[in-house]
């Protein structure tokens, strides 16, 4: 694998709040360009101001990551301004079982997969040829421990994160020898607006700044995988190895409902 240079231009999706905003703030530094994508223009401007105060050059664009053509055009424009070397696919939404016990709608389930999985693909695939030509680059895919075992109240979310994990594993195996570093991350609960919607226990939850710091340490170290907290990820991985009736019975013990946004 080739030696990686410093991060000079990073693109971060879902950067208007929560983990994406925390990642942007912690990455902000003089001489570094951060290009931020999210649905909320007001949130993007708040993140941009915080990053600029730390000396970073910042560009923002309200953009739906599920729009493949729009993402490709935006990335091409930003690449023309300054070569992109780091991609952070963080944009994510959730649906799931409502407080009254109703399952997620077909439309909501499809949208979760479109944003969480296809949105990441729309970020990475247009840039992949350029990164491979240069022989270096970093990709961080923010998944979830929910991708290790389908959670009863979040089937579409679990599916999207399982797909994202497999996508990242494949990218790393395929292109690591060419100099591409791919980190697939499986965080557990961390304090955020999305987490607050889960009406139940939040085992081993950490602050959003702490989670961002953990992921960035793994990215800078060139790790291929990070599961945090490890114990929660190991528990779900272990349950997945049990016979289906036993695993289903145990995972139902931790069911929770999801409040509307």
pLDDT, tens digit (0-9, with 9 covering 90-100), for 197-251: 665 666 667 889 999 999 999 999 999 999 998 888 788 888 888 999 998 888 8
Look up residue 206 and give its DSSP letter: B
pLDDT at 25: 98
SS3 call for 205 = coil
Measure the CA–CA gap between 220 and 7, rounded to whole angstroms: 9
Mean pLDDT of the chain: 91
Rg of the chain taking only CA atoms, in angstroms:
18
Torsion over CA: 154, 155, 156, 158 (sign): positive
Strands (E), 5-72: 9-13, 33-38, 57-62
Q: Residue 138 forms beta bridges with which residues? A: 86, 181
Residues 6 or more apart whose Cβ sits within 8 Å of residue 77: none
SS3 call for 38 = strand
Q: What is the pLDDT of residues 141-190, one digit of tens each?
A: 999 999 998 888 889 999 999 999 999 999 999 999 999 999 999 998 87
Measure the CA–CA gap between 51 and 27, rounded to whole angstroms: 8
pLDDT at 203: 66
pLDDT at 192: 65
Measure the CA–CA gap between 216 and 89, rounded to whole angstroms: 13
CA angle 17, 36, 5 (to 5 degrees): 120
Residues 6 or more apart whose Cβ sits within 8 Å of residue 67: 122
Contact yes or no for 197/258 (Cβ under 8 A): yes
Q: Among the listed ranges 82-96, 123-137, 179-193, 195-209, which one has the minimum average pLDDT value? A: 195-209
Question: Has residue 34 got a pLDDT over 60?
Answer: yes
Q: pTM (2 decimals)? A: 0.91
The percentage of the chain sitting over the pLDDT mark of 90, rounded to a whole number, equals 71
Enter the CATH code of domain 9-43+55-258: 3.40.50.720
Q: How confident is the model at residue 258 (pLDDT cuts 50, 70, 90)?
A: low
pLDDT at 1: 41
Question: Has residue 65 got a pLDDT over 50?
Answer: yes
pLDDT at 71: 98
Question: Has residue 82 got a pLDDT over 90?
Answer: yes
- What integer is the mean pLDDT of 22-42? 97
Measure the CA–CA gap between 209 and 200, rounded to whole angstroms: 22
Q: Where are the alpha helices (DSSP H) in 82-207?
A: 106-113, 119-124, 128-134, 155-175, 193-196
Strands (E), 40-146: 57-62, 86-89, 137-142
pLDDT at 6: 93
pLDDT at 98: 77
pLDDT at 237: 87
Measure the CA–CA gap between 255 and 97, rounded to whole angstroms: 10
């Amino acid at each position: 694998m080739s030696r990686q240079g410093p991060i000079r231009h990073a693109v971060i999706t879902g950067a208007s709040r929560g983990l994406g905003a925390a990642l942007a703030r912690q990455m902000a530094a003089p001489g570094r360009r951060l290009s931020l994508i999210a649905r909320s223009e007001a949130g993007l401007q708040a993140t941009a101001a915080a990053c600029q105060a730390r000396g970073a050059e910042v560009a923002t664009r309200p953009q739906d990551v599920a729009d493949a053509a729009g993402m490709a055009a935006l990335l091409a424009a930003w690449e023309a301004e300054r070569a992109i070397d780091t991609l952070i696919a963080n944009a994510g939404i959730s649906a799931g079982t409502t407080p009254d016990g109703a399952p997620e709608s077909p439309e909501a389930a499809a949208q979760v997969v479109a944003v969480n999985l296809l949105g990441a693909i729309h970020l990475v695939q247009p840039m992949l040829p350029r990164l491979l030509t240069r022989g270096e680059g970093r990709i961080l895919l923010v998944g979830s421990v929910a991708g290790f075992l389908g959670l009863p109240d979040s089937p579409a979310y679990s599916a999207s994160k399982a797909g994202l994990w497999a996508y990242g594993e494949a990218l790393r195996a395929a292109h690591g020898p060419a100099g591409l570093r791919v980190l697939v991350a499986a965080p557990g609960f961390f304090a955020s607006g999305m987490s607050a919607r889960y009406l139940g226990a939040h085992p081993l939850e950490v602050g959003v700044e702490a989670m961002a710091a953990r992921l960035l340490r793994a990215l800078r170290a060139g790790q291929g995988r990070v599961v945090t907290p490890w114990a929660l990820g190991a528990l779900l991985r272990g349950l997945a190895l049990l016979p289906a009736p036993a695993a289903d019975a145990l995972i139902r013990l931790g069911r929770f409902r999801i409040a509307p946004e």
